[in-house]
Each structure stands twice: as C-alpha cells, then as structure tokens.
Structure 1
C-alpha cells in the first residue's frame, strides 16, 4: 500500500473517531443537563478482580446543578458531605469532626463533573464514547487522554435516559460501582439542604485546598 493511501486511510479513521467522540459528547451532555435537580438512594461497592462485591455502603443524595449537593452515607458509618457552591463541608459524626474546603478544590474531579453535567470539561480530559445503545439502555465509556489521571476507566449506564449506574476504575486497579435507585428528577429540593452549620462541640478543620 502506498504512503498516499496509508495517509488517506489514517485521515479517514481519525475523522470517524473525531465524529464519534463529538456525537457521544453531545448525547452525554444532553442526558446529564436536562434536569436541574437530581436525587437518589445509592448503593456503593468495591469489586474484586473476579467481580465479587466487597466493601458496601448505602445512603442518599440530592444535587442542584451546577454546584450544590448534599450527599449522606448511612451505612456502614454516617457521613455527610454538603456543597453550598462556595465550600464543601465533610461531617463525620463518629469522629465529631467537620472539614471545610473550597468548593473549587473538588469541583474538577471526574465524579463531580459527571454529576454536575459539566461534559465540556470532561471531554478535555477523557475520550468519551457511547459503547452501547439498545432498547432503553445507553452506556458511555470515558478513557483518560493523558498519563496524569486518577481513573483508568469510567462507565456510565443510563436507563430510560436517566443515569442509574457508575463504574469507576482507579489508577491502582480498584473498581467501584455506584447503583442509583429511587431517583427523583426536578423535585425542587429545599435550599436548606445545601447549607451546613457545624454542630456545637465538634472539631472544625479548615482545609485551604490546593
């Protein structure tokens, strides 16, 4: 095969790849931004190499895009994480401790970008592909585009156009699955859910962030 045809083939494949990426980005953005608020109960597992469920936690959350959320873990221990858009508060009742950090310090993490629907920011870091579209199921895969990464792979499962499962594989090979149930869309959550006042008697740690 001549260099000309090799070059033409590579160019064609690159154009197809770019088009698929753009289409996936547009579709993922459409799915993640169509609702201003999103709430659900969650079950979170770490998975062994064989796929067996290991560490298990449960809880519920509500978020109001673009940057406010209230995430509450109930088991195996209680924890509450609240963002008011300016600060993120992490409250550990068992430790009688609250940590406050700037919201900007966490707003660029991949899970936060996904839940907040910031797909444009995601697309600068990940190659986004739609790898399944069948019936009421759509699956997207996000692969990092640089070596500086916290995650090796992220998969998002949508059922009936609503996010229902996340699978995160970190740089150490640990896989975490988050399953969403009891989903509520555009429920106009109480604004008080996104404010936090440290209880009396707890230790307050002020984290300046990076």
Structure 2
C-alpha cells in the first residue's frame, strides 16, 4: 500500500512539474499583451570533421505587442533589425545595406516569434505546433514546440520560463544548428508605442521583396 501511494505521489509530482511549463506558456500568451527585454544569443553550428563546433554570440533588445507586432534590434557584433508591423516582416542588415520584405502572414506561423509574441492563445499555437512539457533545467520550466509541418526549417523550439516570466528560447534547425536566446530585464505589459514597429527602408539600401 505504501509503495502504491509513493508511486502515485511521484507520478503526481512528475505530472505537476511537466504541467508547469505548459501552464507558464499559456499564462504568458494570455496575459503578456506587450513587453520589452534585453537578450543575448549564442548560435552554435554543428562540428565539422576535424574541427570543433563554433559559437557566435550577439546581443540586443526585443519589444512586442500582441498579437502581431514585434521588433528585434541586434546591436552587437553587427547591427540587424527584424520588425513585424502587423502586415509586413522586415529584415534589415546594416552592414550589407539590404532590406528583405515579406508578407508577415506567410512566414510567422511556425516560428519562435509565433510562440512568444504573435499567437493570441494556446489553441492557435496548437494548430501549428505539437506542444509538450520538457524537463526542468537551469532553474527554468520548459515547453517543447515541434512544428506540425515537417517540411519546415525547424526541428523544434523550446521555451523556458522562470515562473510565468519568459526567460529563454532554444531553437534547433534542420541543419543541426542550435540557437539559444536568453532574455534579461523582461518588462511584461510595458508601454510600447506603435512607432516602435514603424519601419522604413533606409536611403541607399537594397530592398528585396519575397
């Protein structure tokens, strides 16, 4: 009897731990209507034969207003900007003086941005992702999101929370490249004005429409 109760107790604890990540994601998607944060990102390419894996680090700022506007400003080591204004997704590389322009609705559904800034609720996310709790790690509760469409470029996305606060993203793409983005100074439901998401291609930049 004691063994049975212990087994049930451990199972209940395991379920609670696994449920917490999904609960945190649901709470964040439902209650975080806007926000801003600083971020650092480490991108590690798979090791080649005879060579160690290489990691590139970058940092910047992130702002969003749900359901369909966000902005990533990469400041170091190179300036890049990614802006979703509700209709168009803009990618600007300052060094190349190049702007890529895409229709937002066609490219965001199965991306990390959908998980943290675009989707209005968990039901919408489940249309594009299989969502399941992942083991707690590094003091965070994790949810793994696997795209339902297998032809995409992403193998999976993991979202990490401390409590209900967005803390990290881990992304593995189809080429074996892993990207880990860590958020700091997250200010949930901050006042983020619409001008943040206004983007006009800089003068003398090449604009590529896709």
Contact 1:33 1:117 in 2 (8 A): no
CA deviation string 1:15-36 (max 9, x = no partner)? xxxxxx9997665222222111
Q: Does structure 2 retain, via aligned residues, the 8 Å contact 1:106–1:112?
A: no
The structure 2 residue matched to 1:47, chosen from 44, 47, 62, is 44
1:206 to 186, 205, 209: 209
What is the CA–CA distance in structure 2 between the aligned matches of 1:26 and 1:117, rounded to whole Å?
A: 18
Point out the more displaced range, 23-32 or 115-124. 23-32
Residue by residue, what CA displacement relative to the aligned partner does 1:132-157 show, whole Å, maximum 9, x if unpaired? 469x7422122345543432232211
In structure 2, what is the Cα distance between the partners aligned to 1:203 and 1:129? 41
Alpha-carbon distance in structure 1 between the residues aligned to 2:112 and 2:71: 14
Cα RMSD of the aligned pairs, angstroms, is 2.8
Higher relative contact order (CA 8 A, sep 6+): 2
Task: Give the conservation status (yes or no) of the 8 Å contact 2:83–2:91.
Answer: yes
Aligned to 1:66: 67
Measured against aligned partners, the alpha-carbon deviations of 1:2-45 in whole angstroms (never above 9, x if no partner) come to: xxxxxxxxxxxxxxxxxxx9997665222222111021111111
Determine which of 163, 166, 171 is the counterpart of 2:166.
163
Equivalent in the alignment of 1:15: none
Displacement of 1:111: 0.7
Q: Identify which range, 123-132 or 194-203, moves more after superposition.
A: 123-132
Q: Where do 5+ consecutive residues of structure 2 fail to align?
A: 1-17
Task: Name structure 1 gaps, 5 residues minimum.
Answer: 1-20
Work out the CA distance in 2 between the residues paired with 1:127 and 1:105. 19
Q: How many residues align?
A: 186
Q: 1:26 to 1:82 in 2, by over 3 A?
A: same
Specify the SS of the correspondent of 1:94: coil
